[in-house]
Amino acid sequence: MALLKILQYPDDRLYTVAKPVTKVTDATRALIRDMAETMYAAPGIGLAATQVDVHERIIVIDLSETRDGLLVLINPEFVRREGEVVREEGCLSVPGIYENLTRAERICVRALDENGIPRELEAEGLLATCIQHEMDHLEGRVFVEYLSQLKQTRIRAKLIKRRRETL
Ligand code: K1U
Ligand code: ZN
């Protein structure tokens, strides 16, 4: 297993639209293991392949306290989105920035699991928010893009300054 480098906003590669996985192979499963290890080490509750510069439609999520409840979504698609809820979000590609965003309250997604088997999943609460956040990454969208231009400019400047100071 390997720890992967997480792209940091405003890296242009975060704006890449990921391609569907055509066949779930051992190589896909090896990538999923590395993504999970990277997410646990960060630590985070979700990670999209886009964030580790792999532009395939793969997401890992684990909301469990014990970190043994890995959810894998390959080629996820929305079946339903209902209601609206405001929740605070963070992002491993935008470290230290937490902002309130409005998203669907309940969702149903269709996706392949790590064995290539199609599944449907109903989600609400933090899981629904996290799935939507990660699906945005696969579309090349970062959560800060929902904020005002002023906030985006401030976040960009803050992260660039912080990075310069840690070099
Ligand atoms: O996509 C990512 O960068 C992962 C992100 C997922 C997410 C969090 C909150 C709302 C929506 C999506 C994170 O994991 S940020 C870190 C975080 O939330 C966390 C870290 C340690 C313990 C618990 C939570
Ligand atoms: Zn994120």
User: Catalytic annotation on 134?
Assistant: yes
pTM score over 0.95: yes
**Ligand index nearest the alpha carbon of residue 43:** 1
CA of 44 to the centre of ligand 1 (A): 5
β-sheet bridge partners, residue 61: 46, 71
Instruction: Yes or no: say if 62 and 71 are a contact pair by the CB < 8 Å rule.
Output: yes
CA of 39 to the centre of ligand 1 (A): 9
Structural domain boundaries of the chain? Answer: 12-166
**Residue bearing the CA closest to ligand 1, atom 6:** 46
pLDDT in tens, 29-64: 999 999 999 999 999 999 999 999 999 999 999 999
Look at domain 12-166 and name its CATH class. Answer: alpha beta
